[in-house]
Amino acid sequence: MLLSPLDRLYEIWEEACDDSKAIKMVTEKEESVFYKGIKIINDSEGVKIYNTKKGALDYKEIDYNDYIYFLDKGFRSGVYYILKRTYKEQIDAINIKIQSEVNQRNNKKHYDYLKLKRDNIINKYTKIIKQEKL
């Protein structure tokens, strides 16, 4: 039997709820599950998935293609997919800042800070890739 995308989205919600490493929260308005910076909510409007690593305090809902990935691959794989892309974007942005720092300001402290920040994100990126292969 083929499931509709909406039914499959509720299956993703159940996967998230059943994940032993995810954090569950229940409020009057919604139920939510957090895992590695991804928030999936179930409220009166349905199930939605947000990337909390983007947009500071205003979480950004994932786009259509990301929803398709979640529907095809499941909760954990979808989380790893989004995190890999987010970390890659952060690494690219820091590399641009490092180039700018070297070519323009030449502030050693800020340059060292950017390198450290980039190394930390690269470590997180590598960890996600290793977890994905398990």
Which range, of 12-26, 46-60, 72-86, averages the lowest pLDDT?
Answer: 46-60
Q: What is the mean pLDDT of residues 85-103?
A: 94
Q: Give the residue numbers spanning the domain of 18.
A: 5-74
Claim to verify: residue 18 and residue 43 sit in the same structural domain: yes
Partners of 96 in beta bridges: none
Claim to verify: residue 27 and residue 87 sit in the same structural domain: no
Claim to verify: residue 44 and residue 103 sit in the same structural domain: no
Claim to verify: residue 58 and residue 103 sit in the same structural domain: no
The residue out of 74, 91, 123 marking a domain boundary is: 74
Question: What string of DSSP letters covers 77-127?
Answer: HHHHHHHHHHHHHHHHHHHHHHHHIIIII--HHHHHHHHHHHHHHHHHHHH
Mean pLDDT across the chain, nearest whole number?
A: 91
Claim to verify: residue 31 and residue 88 sit in the same structural domain: no
Q: How would residue 6 be classed by pLDDT, with cut points 50, 70 and 90? A: confident
Claim to verify: residue 94 and residue 114 sit in the same structural domain: yes
The residue out of 74, 105, 124 marking a domain boundary is: 74
Contact 29, 43 (CB under 8 A): yes
- pLDDT reading at 3 higher than 70: no
- pLDDT attached to residue 116: 97
Claim to verify: residue 38 and residue 64 sit in the same structural domain: yes
Contacts of 23 (CB under 8 A, 6+ apart): 33, 34, 35
Contact 48, 40 (CB under 8 A): yes
Contact 38, 82 (CB under 8 A): yes
pTM comes to 0.86
